[in-house]
Amino acid sequence: MEKNTIIPTESETASDESLDISVDSAAIRRMVEEIRSESELGVTRSYNRTFNRHNR
Amino acid sequence: MGDETWRSLPKLMSQRTQEILAEQLAGLADRQGRPFSIVLHGGEPLLLGELRLSTLFTALRQKLGSEFGISVQTNGVLITDKIIDVLEKYGIRVSISLDGPPTLHDTRRPDLRGRPTHARVLQGISKLLARPASVSLFSGLLAVVDPYSDPDNVYRFFKEVGAPSVDFLYRDGNHSKLPYGKDSVDSDIYGRWMAKILDLYIADPQPMRIRILDDIIKLLLGGAGMKEGIGLTDFGILVIDTDGSIRKNDTLKSSPLGDTFNANWNLNNCSLSDIATSDEFRTYHIAQKPSSAICANCSLLRVCGGGMVTHRFKEGRGYENPTVFCADQKFLIERVFRHLSRYNLVEARVA
């Protein structure tokens, strides 16, 4: 097995029966499109740390 | 987490320090040859008021131009129309800390007089959303997770607020001082909470953005992450305090080894350019990568990234450990994987 292959492990509540997804996901679709456009444009997005801080 | 260092610092950055900062950032930009992001946080950056903010932003834009991202992370309580005018004028993006419904938010974010702040924060958000320029002005919200709260309520609340995005942070902690809600390192209470948010997010036909989830999705699909603490992309982070002192990633304040460089750098005695090429900074930069053998051999490393450095700390072992949220990361990443696998999006994606 290749190192870094994502291997899902059995998890009591992460079973397929608990996932009630029967429609296309807008969130997933959005990410697929972003990856595609970033790949085509060769976009390197800079890090935005705004979301990593909160007032302590 | 008990950090009190802010008490000894000036409340505001002086104009002279701001001028030096702008010069130094320009020098760093010239030397580095690539743009970087500047984030005003705190404390509370809007305490500067519209005049001082104007002065600061004028200096920064004059030295750096418009292509450098400048943003503000605020508690949202001091947002006024005049402040928004300043932010808009200089192309500044703003993010607001809001933990959720009033019962969640006001428990942990009262003002200095102990008064609730939730209503005032919502007023500030409304002012931002009312602006035609809100798309470029308002980044979104930042919420700290209460793992005992109802994720469904929290998700619905944020949808109603109408912000363009929400990001979630876990409470700080480490192996020697467990985060709120975790009764052991093996607890995955945060991961399970986020997984419920994920399920709602995936099923939502008009979802706001949730950055931590977007990053995990993109990483599993072979893209790159944008968020500190997810994925293996590392970012050089320096924090400049109000007195001009230069420190490491401020999240390190929550671990005993802290955020201070040995060299005790200050804007008045050194340059950011020299710091960025110094051995001490290089050592600190490299340390963002997980050093634990457990992480190195983990199949989820490329997505997890070992989490935030501060969350890896353990007495006697320093940072050479998986994140204290390892079990949470595993649960959440596996949950994302299962969602993606239903669309046959992940089988071909191997690092």
Tell me the β-bridge partners of B165: B209
List Cα–Cα distances, B208 to B9, B139, B140, B214, in angstroms.
37, 11, 9, 11
CB contact under 8 A, A49 and B345: no
Say whether B201 and A27 touch across the interface (CB within 8 A). Answer: yes
ipTM of predicted complex: 0.86
Cβ within 8 Å of residue B265, ≥6 positions away? B245, B246, B275
CA distances B252 to B181, B202, B269, Å, are: 20, 33, 23
Mean pLDDT along residues B30-43: 87
pLDDT of residue B288: 83
Is residue A54 pLDDT above 50, yes or no?
no
Closest chain B residue to A33 measured between Cα atoms? B218
**What is the Cα B263 distance to its own chain's centre?**
25
Contact between chains at B204 and A5 (C-beta distance less than 8 A): no
Separation of first and last alpha carbons in chain B: 36
- Name which of B243, B256, B144 is nearest B193 in CA terms: B144
The pLDDT of residue B5: 73
Report the pLDDT value the prediction gives residue B60, as an integer from 0 to 100: 95
Rounded to whole angstroms, how far apart are CA atoms B13 and B245? 11
Contact (Cβ atoms closer than 8 angstroms) between residue B40 and residue B87: no
Q: State both tokens at B226.
A: 């944008």
Q: Output phi, psi for B159, to 5 deg.
A: -60, -40
Asked if the Cβ–Cβ distance from B218 to A19 is below 8 Å, we say no
pTM: 0.87
Contact B41, A55 (CB under 8 A): yes
Choose, out of B198, B218, B308, the residue to mutate when testing the contact with A (most A CBs < 10 Å). B218
B159 to chain A nearest CA, in Å? Answer: 14
- A residues 8-37 lying closer than 8 A (beta carbon) to B: 8-9, 11, 13-14, 16, 19-21, 23, 25-28, 30-32, 34-35
Q: What is the pLDDT of residue A42?
A: 60
Express each pLDDT in B78-136 by its tens digit.
Answer: 999 999 999 999 999 999 999 999 999 999 899 888 999 999 999 999 999 999 999 99
Q: Which pLDDT band, with edges at 50, 70 and 90, does B286 fall under?
A: confident
Predicted pLDDT of residue A56: 40
Mean pLDDT of B244-248: 89
Q: Does A52 contact B251 at a Cβ distance shorter than 8 Å?
A: yes
Domain boundaries B5-341, corresponding CATH code? 3.20.20.70
Residue B285 clears pLDDT 50, i.e. is over it: yes
pLDDT surpasses 70 at A4: no
Residues of B in contact with A11 (CB under 8 A): 331, 334-335
Residue A19 has pLDDT above 50, yes or no: no
Rounded to an integer, what distance in angstroms lies between the CA atom of residue B143 and that of residue B171? 10
Asked if the Cβ–Cβ distance from A48 to B301 is below 8 Å, we say no
Distance CA B322, CA B330 (A): 11
Interchain CB distance below 8 Å, B221 and A48? no
d(C-alpha B51, C-alpha B321), whole Å: 46
Q: Determine the pLDDT at residue A12.
A: 36
Q: What is the pLDDT of residues B198-236, one digit of tens each?
A: 999 999 999 999 999 999 999 999 888 777 778 877 778
Q: Taking 70 as the threshold, does the pLDDT of residue A2 lie above it?
A: no
Average pLDDT over residues B22-27: 94
Q: Does A54 touch chain B (CB under 8 A)?
A: yes
State the average pLDDT over residues B186-199.
98
Mean pLDDT, rounded, for B42-54: 91
Q: Which of A13-22, B182-191, B241-250 has the lowest mean pLDDT?
A: A13-22
Distance between A23 CA and the closest CA of chain B, angstroms: 7
8 Å CB contact between B93 and B69: yes
Look at residue B208 in the predicted model and tell me its pLDDT: 96
Contacts of residue B48, Cβ cutoff 8 Å, sequence gap at least 6? B12, B13, B56
Higher pLDDT pick, B250 / B89: B89
* Residue found under tokens 């950056």: B45
For B151, counting Cβ atoms within 10 Å of its Cβ (0-12 exposed, 13-18 middle, 19+ buried), the class is: buried
Question: In this predicted structure, what is the pLDDT of residue B32?
Answer: 87
pLDDT score for B2: 63
pLDDT of residue A41: 66
Pick from B61-70, B193-202, B247-256 the range whose average pLDDT is largest.
Answer: B193-202
Select the more confidently predicted residue: B5 or B262: B262
- Three-state SS sequence of B266-289: ECCCCCHHHHHCCHHHHHHHHCCC
> How many CB atoms sit inside 10 A of residue B33's CB?
6
Query: How much is the mean pLDDT over chain B?
Result: 91
Domain boundaries, chain B: 5-341
Tokens of B252: 């390190």
Report the pLDDT averaged over residues B303-327.
94
Q: Test A50 with B93 for CB contact under 8 angstroms.
A: yes
Res A18 pLDDT > 90: no
Q: For residue range B134-169, list pLDDT tens digits in order.
A: 999 999 999 999 999 999 999 999 999 999 999 999
